[in-house]
Amino acid sequence: MKRIKIFDTTLRDGEQAPGFTMNLSEKVKLAKQLEKLGVDVIEAGFAIASPGDFNAIREISRNVGNVSVASLARTTKLDIDRAWEALQFAKKPRLHLFIATSDIHLKHKLKLTREEVLKSAVEGVRYAKRFFDDIEFSAEDAVRSDLGFLAEIFTAVIAEGAKTINIPDTVGYTTPEEYFAFIQAVRNQVENIDQVEVSVHCHNDLGFAVANSLAAVRAGATQIECTVNGIGERAGNAALEEIVMALDTRKDYFDCVTQIDTKQIMKTSKLLQSITGVKVQPNKAIVGENAFAHEAGIHQHGVLQERTTYEIMTPESVGLDTNKIVLGKHSGRHAFIDRVKALGYGLDTSELETAYAAFIDLCDKKKEVYDDDIDAIINKEISHTPEVVKLNTFMIHSGKHIPATATISLNIQGNEITDASVGDGPVDASFKVIERSVNKNIKLVDYKINAVTEGKDALGEAVVILKINNKSYRGRGLSTDVIEASISAYIEAVNKSYAELN
């Protein structure tokens, strides 16, 4: 079977989407998980775009070894130099050069002629060969480009040493049938194309990103660029998990394989959701909450008799555990540790003790603890954000026709500070107390409350985004008490601002 490479751009194209910004430690954590997942390439950022992207690329390069790490770059010496500076520690560095090739981009964005674009592309690859052996060249907006010009520029950059050419549908415009024909036409017109990998990068503006990517595979593409949960600019990118499971489930049709460990898919998806605070919709293919759920009686009967009546792939194949053992306060330490291992977490002794203490605390508040509770506990408690600010106690006084009052005791760098404030509800009052106690000018940008699990004693998740000194910080809190979850989320975001100062 033909091997398809998976080029993950969650940390570059995915992170560009509003609401998906990640800090340095979060990016490194996700990159390590992507390596476990088995992707071939991690596009870690756009080195020249910002110091944050540069640092992320450099740190990810130092922390992964069995996967290529790429930086995006324009075809300029300044971009290429900056990318090399960021990637010099990578064991498998890749430069991802790009320039637009469609007439609409040339006229309105670049203000360049086709000849000038061709010259820039050739000179960019030639210069990059001084530093990089692995160079990918992308023709931005390729689908809306003149086929003859596209073939000319691809032929030239391959001759200069590019090892991968990327044919993106940058604006999600094409359809599967058109894309299939377009990829075939490019392969027929570029004489030296057999020397390189053919990559595709599809956006989802019309909902065709995954279908277009799979059509390209049938037309001869050997690499697919995609993101976890399909995040990305505008309507997002092709979803990694959907592409991988389509190729895996329908080997009979596509005759292709990837090196992805599919059992890591769910863990990777949940980690991204935990980091960003943005959940996938329940009916999301592969990783949605309802993807392997059966509520209708007929479906339940069929699945109980024979899974394949309604399941074309098993939950276990993507990392779900169908074992329905319910954990509670009588389960004990060994049962908890076994469950953590079954969920795929490799925690050290100290981390297990921290998670177990949180588990016991949760068991006192609710009758049953589900797998999602344990995921939430681990993602919350096993954190490397320094706790400059810690919550000691809080008390809320609120009711109809009574001003909401919050009294909170905090430990700030070893000093205990207790203060109180009124507000428009208990959450607002609590946030005002914390803001005053830490003596920072804080703007609440976003605030969300979600139920992590079901039932009246469900674990509540609060997510806040704060703006402090013109920078945004995301915090996440978990508790059966939504006020406590909100306070914890706010404090975590504040602690992240302290961490960045250090």
CB 453 within 8 A of CB 370: yes
pLDDT above 90: percentage of residues in the chain? 71
Q: How confident is the model at residue 454 (pLDDT cuts 50, 70, 90)?
A: low
Single pTM value for the model: 0.76
CA distance 7 to 30: 15
Region 214-238: what's the mean pLDDT? 97
Indicate the range of 196-210, 318-332, 422-436 predicted with least confidence. 318-332
Look-up: residue for tokens 């969920």? 343
Q: Convert the pLDDT of each residue in 317-358 to its tens digit.
A: 999 865 344 466 665 676 678 778 766 677 788 888 888 888
3-class DSSP state of 196: coil
Q: Convert the pLDDT of each residue in 144-165 to its tens digit.
A: 999 999 999 999 999 999 999 9
Indicate the range of 39-48, 78-87, 322-331, 360-369 predicted with least confidence. 322-331
Q: Convert the pLDDT of each residue in 459-501 to its tens digit.
A: 788 989 899 988 888 888 888 899 999 999 999 899 988 876 6
Angle between helix axes 51-63 and 24-37 (nearest 10 degrees) is 40
pLDDT at 77 over 70: yes
pLDDT at 299 over 80: no
CB 183 within 8 A of CB 198: yes
Region 376-380: what's the mean pLDDT? 75
Higher pLDDT, 9 or 385: 9
Look-up: residue for tokens 């803001």? 435
CB 103 within 8 A of CB 145: yes
What is 257-281 written as a DSSP string? E----GGGHHHHHHHHHHHH--PPP
Q: How far apart are the first and last CA of the chain?
A: 50
Domain extent listing, the chain:
2-276, 292-320, 323-381, 389-501
Q: Which CATH class is domain 389-501?
A: alpha beta
Look-up: residue for tokens 């490799």? 346
CB 292 within 8 A of CB 320: yes
* Residue 277 exposed, middle or buried by CB count within 10 Å (0-12, 13-18, 19+): buried
> What CATH number labels 2-276?
3.20.20.70
For the chain, the average pLDDT equals 90
